[in-house]
Amino acid sequence: MDSETRIVLIGPPGAGKGTQAKKLGDYYSVPHLSAGELLRSEVENETEAGKRAKPYLDQGQLVPVEIVVDIMVKNMFERSEHNGFVVDGFPRNPEQYERLTDYMEENNLSLDCAVDLVIPEEMVYRRLTGRRVCRECGANFHLEFRPPEQEGQCDDCGGELKQRDDDTRETIQERLEVFQNESKPVARKFERDGILAKVDATGDIDEVFEKITTTLEERLA
Ligand code: AMP
Residue 169: CB atoms within 10 Å: 10
Interatomic CA distance for residues 126 and 215, integer angstroms: 26
Residues flanking ligand 1, CB < 6 Å: 13, 35-36, 39, 56-57, 60-63, 68, 89-90, 92, 96, 166, 175
Residue in 167, 25, 143 with CA at minimum distance from that of residue 82: 25
Amino acid in position 58: D
Task: Look up 40 and say whether it is catalytic.
Answer: no
Mean pLDDT to the nearest integer, 26-51: 94
Residue in 10, 16, 68 with CA at minimum distance from that of residue 201: 16
Each residue's pLDDT tens digit, 8-22:
999 999 999 999 999
Distance 158 CA to ligand 1 centre (A): 27
Phi-psi region of 114 (alpha: psi -120 to 50; beta: other; left: phi over 0): beta
Each residue's pLDDT tens digit, 194-217:
999 999 999 999 999 999 999 999
Interatomic CA distance for residues 120 and 125, integer angstroms: 10
Q: What is the pLDDT of residue 80?
A: 67
- Residue 2: pLDDT band (50, 70, 90) is very low
Interatomic CA distance for residues 159 and 221, integer angstroms: 40
Q: What is the pLDDT of residue 221?
A: 77
CA distances to 83, 87, 90, 123, 183 from 73, in Å: 11, 11, 10, 32, 18
Q: What is the pLDDT of residue 219?
A: 87
Q: What is the pLDDT of residue 83?
A: 79
DSSP β-ladder status, 131-134 and 85-88: unpaired
Please pick, among 17, 99, 132, 211, the residue that the annotation labels catalytic.
Answer: 17
Each residue's pLDDT tens digit, 126-156:
999 999 999 999 888 999 989 999 999 999 9
Beta bridge partners of 197: 115
